[in-house]
Structure 1
Amino acid sequence: MWQAGLLLTFVLIIFSLGKSPVFRVDRAGAAIIAAALMVDFGVLTFDQAIASIDFRTIVILFFMMIVLANLKVAGFFELIGSYVLRNVATKKGLLLAVIFSSGILSALCINDIVCLLFTPIVLLVCRQTRCNPIPYLLGVAIASNVGSAATFLGNPQNILIASLSGVSFTSYFFTALPISFIGLFISYFVIAYFYDQDLRGNVQKVEPSKVFFHKYIVIKSLVVLVFVILVYIAGKDLAITSSLGAALLLVTRRVQPNKIYTSIDFNLLVIFVGLFIIIGGVKHSGLMDLLVQQTTNFIDLQNKTVFALFTIGLSNIVSNVPAVMLLKFFLPSTETVMWWKALALFSTFAGNLTITGSIANLIVVEIAKRQNIHIGFWDYLKVGLPTTLITSLLGLFILNYV
């Protein structure tokens, strides 16, 4: 038990800091090291380690990344940027367009990947229109979290929850959609309030750069994405539908396979595999039962407000994916569908609290940094804190009274 606890602590520290302060070990490396030591220390046998991996979640993530990679290669995100640039007149209108583009895309696809592909487009638009990029970049990050909360396809932790919970897509969608939709407007008003001076006036009209996109691949990829979602809504296994969709896209004469594979976030897949083994070791050792017992003695997690605060706090300390893997053991045994929905909503909204609250935020910040645009902790917190509080309160209201 103490060995499992030591390895869990090591991983949570690395996930909290982002990397080791001594060695060049990142989150993926920490997950690999701890998972290997779980077996080497005898906490799990090799077969038990393999059995603890939820391969359905890994399959869904991998194949959804292939679908997104096809949209990237086809120039879909550049097409959206060009359309926005041609059809907005004011700086506030541009912010609203950026927020809803990021939010809607993140509801249908994995928000981390959306931020990776959409952020450079927003930077290009801001440079062409000579707008301060910071409020728009904040819009991309915050809206990606809020929008991704609308569906089980929106982010890695929701894909995990869909696999673990058995809650249907439509059941969660109809609960989460109004919260996310209103949340996007909340995001807009909060950013517009703090950056009022930067958002006054019209955008400088420029001729958009010529966008090179492959119409056939864009249409084919969008049709496959809609097919995957509709078949999933109809009740089919998402792992099967997403794998079929990805397979259809890989049958092509137009795209070199390596262009697709290089767009897949293998780091994220490695992190998931490692975390499954680590959490499996903690559970097998008996440490998880002890943690649950001790925690519930001091914290009333059957109170939705307390549960929301606990989820938001833990998600910001260790990141939302490991938080969900831990919190699934703390869910009350009654009204399980409602509690799974609450876990999906609050672990996602938690990503907006601080700049390190989600991988999506860090992706936006790092891409901006490469172009000498600095988004500081306070720049993010002054917008993220009120957005998190308001959207979480809205979520509590919907879960309690609607």
Structure 2
Amino acid sequence: MAWASTPKVVLGCFAFGVFWIMAVVPVVPFLPIGRTAGSLLGACLMVVFQVLSPAEAFAAVDLPILGLLFGTMVVSVYLERADAFKYLGHALSWRSLGGKDLLCRLCLLSALCSALFTNDTTCVVLTQFVLEVCREKKLPPQPYLIALASSANIGSAATPIGNPQNLVIAVESKIAFGKFLGGVVPAMVLGLIANTLLLLAYYWKKLRGVDEDAESSDISIKLEQQRPETELLNSGLSFTQEQRSQQQDHRQEPKQQDSSYQTPDLEGQAADTPDLGKSVAASTSTPDGQLRQEAGAPPLPRSSSSFRKKVWKVSVYLVTIGMLVAFLYGLDLSWTAITAAIVLMVLDFTDASPSLDQVSYSLLVFFSGMFIAVRGFNRTGAPGQLWDAVEPHARINTAAGIAILSAVVILLSNVASNVPTVLLLGARVAASAAATEGASVKKAWLILAWVSTVAGNLTLVGSAANIIVSEQASRMEEHPYNLSFWNHLRFGAPATFIVIAVGLPLIQG
């Protein structure tokens, strides 16, 4: 693509720079308006500077992507209300065999949840639970927080609904859900195994110490339970002899009876006993019981409300499974997710406002501004000129070309974030693959999905999932934990390149 006019290039690059700074840096000292407002500012500057016309700006907003994102967020809200994430969280500590076993479980659970419910949602729900488990079992939080974030990113690469950049790729490439899944799952599985082994190797000493302490405590408990039976028998025998002597002394005492003693009136006393009154009041203290008691009707049995709740939970799970089946069947992703969200609202049979309030509308607004900012930046011609310089060396029909393309995507994903990188490079990578003999357009899209997603593990700010885990851990009311940038980088840098490298040969085109 040729360069635009000089004023349009300068002003467009400036507007995109404003968007990029506000999107990448959480709090800008000289303009602390936040990421969402910064995205709108960058979009507005594109129109004010006449890089885009108002009609072109509105056309740049991708409604199918926003619809898919909204639908999956609503479904996640109802799944959380149905205790789905709580049950998954309890699976972490159920019959845990120590620190290493817990780490492996966390990696697997985080990857599976992210593939189905997005990596951001998984990290939001599981971070607090992971910290509580670490505190209860006296485990170091750092390995488990990094395991949660890195596994969530790796697992989210497997499906079109796993993360925002995959949503963009699925809509723009029109790759069916099942083909997307089949093309990336082998790389995801091997990458997850490699990441888990790297976590175990890197934190082996810390986890080994934890396991040894757990084993020693288990041994002490067993030894305490296996005391000599003679000691128990002797203690029991002495207690029996003492009890018998007391009974004999009691028999020798003269029996005294009070002539004034009368049998109490149990019925009258029960009516005046405050404890009994409290127990009766407690039995009808539920809201349903109070309302029905005021109306003169007996309270509803608890079994009926419990049964209705169980039926509702099962309905939520069935609707979610139906949505995933519809995805696999090839139905429209956006309208399928929106339909599932509407069905869940109807089945809930209550005001949906509290559930809808939990949807991250700021994220939808951020995406809208980002679409406009990226479209305007493309109009300047700068991304096209950059890609023209790299494209001859980054074709996917050779191993060297795939390596160069991966390096470019990793760099841009950590500098400009992964979603803008996909928006900037997606169509160009696909066009290059279409024009290259022996290359597959589908494989080009899936390589972009795999590399841009796993590249988020490189730095703490490389992925929204990493930031969510770090911020939630630092904001815990009790025992907050600060996951620093350098602690994450020491593991994330080598692990990212290794996981991407082992997964790339398994991407199916």
- TM-score (ref. length: structure 2): 0.73
Cα offset for 1:283? 3.2
Task: Deviation per CA, 1:191-225: give whole Å up to 9, x if none.
Answer: 111222322214889xxxxxx9x544442222222
- Find 2:466's aligned residue among 358, 361, 365: 361
Tell me the equivalent position of 2:405. Answer: 307
Counterpart position of 2:156 = 148
SS for the counterpart of 1:373 is: coil
- In structure 1, the partner of 2:45 is 37
* 1:318-365 deviations in Å (ceiling 9; x for gaps): 111111111124311422111101110000010111111100000000
Aligned to 2:367: 272
Q: Quote how far apart the aligned CAs of 1:42 are.
A: 2.0
Q: Indicate the SS of the match to 1:365.
A: helix
Q: 2:320 aligns with which of 211, 225, 236?
A: 225
Q: Please tell me whether residue 395 in structure 1 is matched to residue 503 in structure 2.
A: yes
Matched residue SS, 1:21: coil
Give 2:446's match in structure 1, choosing from 313, 338, 341. 341
Match of 1:379 in 2: 487
CA displacement at 1:12 relative to structure 2: 1.9
Give the whole-Å Cα distance in 1 for the aligned partners of 2:313 and 2:356.
17
Pair 1:165-2:270 in alignment: no
Report the Cα offset of residue 301 of structure 1: 5.0
Tell me, yes or no, if the aligned pair for 1:60 and 1:243 is still in contact at 8 Å: yes
Cα pair 1:111 1:144 within 8 Å, conserved: yes
For the 8 Å contact 1:63–1:246, the answer to whether it is kept is yes
Whether the aligned pair in 2 keeps the contact of 1:60 and 1:242 (CA below 8 Å) is: yes
C-alpha contact 1:71 1:217 (8 A) present in aligned 2: no
Q: Return 142-151 or 16-25, whichever deviates more.
A: 16-25
Contact in 1 for aligned 2:410/2:455 (Cα 8 Å): yes
Percent identity between the aligned chains? 31
The match for 2:193 is 185
Deviation per CA, 1:351-385: give whole Å up to 9, x if none. Answer: 11111110000000011111320111222122212
Q: 1:98 to 1:56 in 2, by over 3 A?
A: same
Deviation digits for residues 240-298 of structure 1 (CA, Å, limit 9, x no counterpart): 1111100111114466523312321222211211111112223345454444335547x
Q: Tell whether the 8 Å contact from 2:187 to 2:504 is kept in structure 1 after alignment.
A: no
Match of 1:93 in 2: 101
SS at match of 1:153: coil
Gaps of 5+ in 2: 1-7, 219-305, 435-439
Instruction: Report which stretch shifted further, 44-53 or 142-151.
Output: 44-53
Q: Structure 2 CA distance, aligned partners of 1:287 and 1:197?
A: 49
- Aligned partners of 2:186 and 2:507 also within 8 Å: no
CA distance in 2, matches of 1:123, 1:255: 33
C-alpha distance after superposition, 1:43-76 (max 9, x if no partner): 2222211111110000000010000011122222
TM-score between both structures, scaled by the size of structure 1: 0.92
Matched pairs, number: 394
Q: Distance in 2 between matches of 1:217 and 1:322?
A: 39
Deviation of 1:86 (Å): 2.1
SS in 2 for 1:251: helix
CA RMSD of aligned residues (A): 2.3
1:319 and 2:417 matched: yes
Question: Secondary structure, in 3 states, of the residue corresponding to 1:18?
Answer: coil
Q: Which runs of 5+ in 1 are unaligned?
A: 206-211
Does residue 68 of structure 2 align to residue 60 of structure 1?
A: yes
1:234 is matched by which residue type in structure 2? Y
Match of 1:244 among 339, 352, 375: 339
Distance (Å, rounded) in 2 between the aligned partners of 1:80 and 1:215: 17
**For each residue in 1:96-153, what CA deviation from the matched residue of structure 2 results, as whole angstroms up to 9, or x when unmatched?**
1111111100011111111011111111221222211211111110100010011111
Give 1:198-217 correspondences, 5 Å limit: 198-200=206-208, 201=211, 202=214, 215-217=310-312
Once residues 348 and 418 of structure 2 are traced to their aligned partners in structure 1, the CA distance between those partners, rounded to angstroms, is 39
Q: Which aligned pairs between 1:113-132 and structure 2 lie closer than 5 A?
A: 113-132=121-140
Larger mean Cα displacement after TM superposition, 183-192 or 147-156: 183-192
- State the partner residue of 1:27: 35
**SS, match of residue 112 in structure 2:** helix
**Does structure 2 retain, via aligned residues, the 8 Å contact 1:81–1:125?**
no
Superposition deviation, residue 392 in structure 1: 0.9
Whether the aligned pair in 2 keeps the contact of 1:73 and 1:259 (CA below 8 Å) is: no
* Distance (Å, rounded) in 2 between the aligned partners of 1:215 and 1:103: 27
SS in 1 for 2:94: helix
Amino acid of the residue matched to residue 180 of structure 1? M
Equivalent residue letter for 2:482: H
